[in-house]
Structure 1
Amino acid sequence: MNDIEASRDITAWAEAGGPGLAEAPDILDLYTFSPSCRIRQALDN
């Protein structure tokens, strides 16, 4: 990650408890992705 502000937001979120314990920062929306169909099929098997 090359964005220092995004890194700070994500670090603060992790320090607050992270997934399930603290509300995720909006910046994470820019870094999410969906795996390809091929990968999802491989994971299902």
Structure 2
Amino acid sequence: MKEAAWADVAERRLEELRSGKVVGVTAEGSLAKAWRRFGL
């Protein structure tokens, strides 16, 4: 059952990536981490 659930989540993630949602969130998260790391 776990494998099926993970496959479902991965499929949704791929769809979101294709629509650009996850890409934007990931970019924002990376920017926030960079800001904190450099203390800007």
Q: How high is the TM-score relative to the length of structure 1?
A: 0.35
* Larger helix proportion of the pair: 2
**Which fold has the larger relative contact order, with Cα–Cα distance below 8 Å and residues 6 or more apart in sequence?**
1
